[in-house]
A and B are shown apart, each in its own frame.
Chain A
Amino acid sequence: MSKSPEKKVIPFGPYHPVLEEGELFELTVRGEVVEEIYWKTGYNHRSIETIAETKTYDQICFLVERICGICSHSHPYGFVRAVEDLAEVEIPERAVYIRTIVAELERLHSHLLWMGLAGHFIGYNTVFMWGWKYREPVLDILEEVTGNRQHYATLKIGGVRRDLEESKYEKILDMLDDVEEKCRMLLEAVPEDPVLKSRLQGVGVLTEQEARDWGTLGPTARGSGYDIDVRRDHPHAAYDWVDWDVCVEESGDVYAKTMVRLRENMESIKIIRQCIDQMVPGPIENEVREIPPGEGIGTYGAPRGETFHYVASDGTNSPIRHKVRAPSFNNVPSFEASCIGEEIADVLLTLAAVDPCYSCTERSLKLTPTSSDERLLTPRQLLEASRNKTKELIDQC
């Protein structure tokens, strides 16, 4: 901690009400203005990649679904795309539409969830509760389509697990009308609220150049005028069969990121409508018997940006390497550009504005000694040390 009287180090985390997950931000502040930010993740490492290498391809779909509770369609989508790329599987058209419907419903619920949380972070708890209430019907539609509110278990290599019955189209469209009304209400209410605008505009600005330099993705990049969307740039799912727009805002502040998300809600509803309209009858999967040796990559436009999966196979029933990169991995470091010079109150809002997902980002942590006299233990040595200590204690008794 700094000894200078004007400078203080304020720790946020590992446990803090504004951060739902364990991570640490140390803000060096002068008064209330942040001069430096140091951040550290690694509190929630779950060995997903290593576990994936011990499971069969079908089981991994369920495993990667649990990387993130909110993007629980994005990670399996990235994974099945990687495996389908590796095995060169064609997906039936109907399955592609069902996948897209679930994907866009997920985007809707994720953006509404973020909207509520953002309200909570600026002390506007009414928005928090309302946003989450408006999210409920989206979850109901998801339950109607996939059978689950979360962790939809709808994807499998070669297609989807569950068909969408035609008798449900009407009901889903009706429920979508309800959601659209709420989303439009939010989209119109935010620009009209002067207090909300005074709190969001000009806060945590990330310029387009910074957005490019830090390699940001998704709404974080699009809010800074960086026109990038993997759904359009590397078409997958049904995105090149339907008509939709990429939402870009220029100003780069929290307000722009909010507006990008609110506008994307409307686009999602548009995409789901078109998918249901254009849906063709047919099979929902092509059975995949063998995964040949080789490598495959899968990208997918998750609500927070591009999700990337890499799978390497040796021809057996489980991969020899599975690499996951969540969008927050790219977005979180941009705090170093957007948070400096902001006030504490705004920094937390800026942190929240990229919709970070820390535990999805964490893969592994490799420690290297900073000086020669520092000692690092391997897991085996640690185990040995702990056994010796126990033995010592028993001997003392």
Chain B
Amino acid sequence: MATDWYMYLLYFLIFPGFIFSLLVGLLAVWIDRKVTARIQWRVGPPLLQPVYDLVKLIGKEVLLPVGAQPLVFLFAPLVGLAGAVLAAFLLGSVNFLQSSFVGDLIVLVYLLFLPSLAIIIGGSASGNPISAIGSSREMKLILAYELPLALAVITVIINAGFTLNLNNIVAGPGAASVSGFLALLVTLICVQAKLAVVPFDIPEAETEIMEGPLVEYSGLPLAIFKTMEALLLYILPLYVITLFLGGLGEGWWMLLGVLKYVLLLVIIILIKNTNPRLRIDQAVNFFWTKVTALALIAAGLAALGEIYGVSWL
């Protein structure tokens, strides 16, 4: 691995960092829109539509609402984007460059929290009652899904032999045990909420509160939020692959990795298109009872397997 500082900069900005993940993210957005359209008997947009949308947004005027806190309002999207790009870089270096450091799993979990945080901050700073409702819903949703998500990560850590190093986790058993599989299920459900898509698009519910926290955003800040969401569509399936499905692989195995990615993406899109939106209390209830119970069982089984040395648990 190169040691020069400008190489690091290239890694961060181009591959596997910002530019590369943005391109994949935009492609994922297109796949999402196209598959959704086909399910709904529509034609769907052309390949470059997400790019056109982004370029159009960047060219639009930036409006500052009267009641907003301008500094926080404008910095929130940047915080979210920074978190998403760093997470993409971290996951990219593990999967493409096999470079990793001790504790990067913890860093990753924190970085994945930043986009949601940015949406809450931005929504609260805009001074719009509808944004405030969206922000409070996002907060409740985070409180709902973060616990099972963390429990699933703990399960993975135990299964991989108490390691916090992503490279070791890729080499670990992943979902190839009962506890691993349960943790995979839990993570998939939480990913749906983290992406804020149906049935958990409660904070942005466009037919209720019109994109909630984003309602006052326009122009470049909105484009940054949309970029962040595109990046998340790349990061979160990759996160699942890294933790549970043995990574993207090297050389020709990478093709299989791409297949895994597309499959996960299509699962997310299918869930999105075959469910109505839940109410926030129903969502919190669902996560705190069923999903957390499942995650606890997974963690418990993993611990038992570790204590008694049973590998299939």
**Chain A contacts to B: CB under 8 angstroms:** 8-10, 16-18, 29, 31-32, 119-130, 133, 195-196, 198-199, 343-346, 348
Contact = CB atoms under 8 A, between A and B. Distances in A.
Contacts of A199: 276-279, 282
B201 A123 contact: yes
B273 A125 contact: yes
A8 B279 CA distance: 19
Which of A10, A122, A195, A348 has the most CB atoms of chain B within a 10 A radius of its CB?
A: A122
Nearest to B282: A198
Given A18-B208, A343-B281, A123 B40 contact: no
Contact of B130 (A10, A130, A348): A10
A8 B208 CA distance: 16
Interface of B: 36, 39-42, 129-130, 132-133, 136-137, 198-199, 201-202, 205-210, 273-282
A10 B129 contact: yes
Nearest to A352: B207
Given A9-B129, A348-B207, A126 B279 contact: no
A10 B279 contact: no
16 contacts: A10-B130, A18-B207, A18-B208, A119-B276, A121-B207, A124-B198, A124-B275, A126-B39, A129-B40, A130-B41, A195-B278, A199-B279, A345-B202, A345-B277, A345-B279, A348-B207
B280 A32 contact: yes
Given A9-B129, A18-B207, A344-B209, A195 B279 contact: no
Contact of A130 (B40, B199, B280): B40
Contacts of B41: 129-130, 133
A134 to B, nearest CB: 10
A330 to B, nearest CB: 25
Contact of A126 (B199, B201, B209, B274): B274
A80 B104 CA distance: 76
Contact of B277 (A17, A31, A32, A124): A124
Contact of B133 (A10, A119, A124, A133): A10
A123 B277 contact: yes
A123 B282 contact: no
A32 B133 CA distance: 8
A31 B36 CA distance: 33
Nearest to A118: B276
Contacts of A126: 39-40, 273-274
Nearest to A197: B276
A101 B281 CA distance: 45
A125 B40 contact: yes
B253 to A, nearest CB: 35
B139 to A, nearest CB: 12
B72 to A, nearest CB: 20
Closest 5 CB pairs of A and B: A123-B277, A129-B40, A124-B276, A122-B276, A18-B207
A123 B133 contact: no
Nearest to A203: B279
A17 B130 contact: no
Contacts of A130: 40-41
Given A18-B208, A343-B281, A346-B279, A123 B199 contact: yes
A346 B279 CA distance: 8
Contacts of A122: 207, 276-277
A195 B276 contact: yes
A31 B129 CA distance: 11
A195 B207 contact: no
Nearest to B199: A195
Contacts of A133: 41
B273 A345 contact: no
Contacts of A32: 133, 136-137, 280
A123 B276 contact: yes
B134 to A, nearest CB: 11
Contacts of A9: 129
A148 B275 CA distance: 35
Contacts of B281: 343
Nearest to B205: A123
A121 B210 CA distance: 11
A122 B42 CA distance: 20
A100 B210 CA distance: 41
A127 to B, nearest CB: 8
Contacts of A124: 198, 275-277
A198 B276 CA distance: 10
B271 to A, nearest CB: 11
A128 B39 CA distance: 12
A18 B210 CA distance: 9
A225 B38 CA distance: 40
A123 B207 contact: yes
Nearest to A121: B207
Contacts of A128: 40
